[in-house]
Amino acid sequence: MTLFAFRGVKSHGWTFYDPIMIRPGEKQVSIKSCTACVKCATCHTVCPVYSVVPAESHSARGKMALIEAAIEGNLEGSTLLREYLELCLLCGACEEACPNLVPTVPIMLQAREMVAGDVGIKTGKGILLNHLLGALKTFRLAMRTGRAAQRLVFKRIPHESGLRRRFPMPLVPEDRTLPEVSARFLTELASGTVREGTGPRIGIFAGCMVNYFYPEMGMNMVELLAATGATVIIPEDQACCGMPALAGGAGNTARELALRNLEEFEKFDLDLIVTGCATCGSNLKENYTQLLEEGGVDSDRAVNFVSKIFDLNEFLTGKALSGLTDGEITETAEKRVVTYHHPCHLGRFQGIKDEPIGLIESIPGVEYVPMEDADRCCGMGGSFSIEHYDISKKINDEKVKKILETGAGTVVTSCPACILHIRDGLRRHGVEDIEVVHIARLLSETIEKSLNDSARRGTEADQQENTTDLSRSP
């Protein structure tokens, strides 16, 4: 895990926070803003945005230069600078490839907050991030309103793909597929203690996408965690993890949400907190210690909370899943061919790459086929895909191409947002016969099939025994 502390530095009207990068086992490395970037252009070779729009301002090197110029007083904070900073997926590919280990993502997050403080956030986005996202009751009311109104402005398309607009509207292109707001949210389907077990008390951090759009993924998680013997709990009043706010420059909202989630999950005396959203997991692990401390939470309390966070793949690896291990799955003549997309916030930020592959390969009847560039960003990037869909879908086109090359009929991933965007890309290309699912669904389907097969064999055995007994009757 990487933790970040920040030291305020005032310069030419800005208060810029200079990150101090702390990695376990390493000394502290002071990153004075972005001056550690030596402009070598290694980032050009890995940046998804630069690959589509090869402009210097779209690369990490260009953005580090812009931030450096602003800090030195050679460039004023402006809406144009804000636009340049927002043209980034925060995928971390540049940080991973950087020979000088420049922590570009935390630098970008801080720069966005500073610019937002200087020139504000775009009006609609600002209302969402500064006022709506942090007000849980109001936000849920807005989601319920959207649920009721979505059929008026959107039309359903086949194959569980979601919705497309009925008429022109801002930020929603004609060819874009969006998910339906669920008829029932996860916290409406299940909350509090939803499964009793003899194992640890595990809370599920759902995240907005799972709670409001894909509650079935949350229920799949419930069954998987219960299959390990855990007591499974879904805190009803959990809120957004805060990553949209943090990425959008609304740092105060992110800190408020972190505190709210801490207090909500602490009510249940949990041993562990598991999430099936790569972005939520990354934010909870990487940023919550700092956000909570900035919000006035004692360091030990913050660290204790963060230490309980696990991604679903991370937790399930090596765990015995009753039904998957106890039962025997009837082999079918045709194997299910599966490939896997590595979400940036899971593989690159949390270092969880081998675990999901191991889980997939452990499933009887599944043939895993590696995807070329499986860890390259799909182009989603949260609000990036809304504000810059033209760039986002070109990046997504490359991901679709790599998927088709595998010949797989199922794409598995561990991020609900990636699922949304990859489904959108496949539909735009007219591909209707490839399903995109969360790994929780793949595993839970396997357990269900195993239990059904075991029950069927038990019924057949009982019938055979009864037939034998009858044949022996006088």
Q: What does the pLDDT look like over 292-344, one tens digit per residue?
A: 999 999 999 999 999 999 999 999 998 877 666 554 555 554 689 999 999 99
Q: What is the pLDDT of residues 219-250, one digit of tens each?
A: 999 999 999 999 999 999 999 999 999 999 99
Q: Indicate if the alpha-carbon torsion angle 163, 169, 171, 175 is positive or negative.
A: positive
pLDDT grade for 7, boundaries at 50, 70 and 90: very low
Q: What is the helix (H) or strand (E) element at residue 374, kind and residue range?
A: none
Report the CATH architecture of 336-448: 3-Layer(aba) Sandwich (3.40)
Query: What ranges do the domains of the chain cover?
Result: 3-119, 336-448
pLDDT grade for 72, boundaries at 50, 70 and 90: confident
Calpha distance 40→15 (Å, rounded): 28
Check: CB of residue 381 under 8 Å from CB of residue 85: no
Check: CB of residue 350 under 8 Å from CB of residue 312: no
Percent of the chain that is helix, strand, coil (3-state, to 5): 50, 15, 35
Check: CB of residue 3 under 8 Å from CB of residue 288: no
Specify the pLDDT at position 464.
Answer: 56
Query: What does CATH list as the number for 3-119?
Result: 1.10.1060.10
| Mean pLDDT over each residue of the chain, to the nearest integer | 86
**Of 391 and 155, which is predicted with more confidence?**
391
- Percent share of the chain, pLDDT over 90: 66
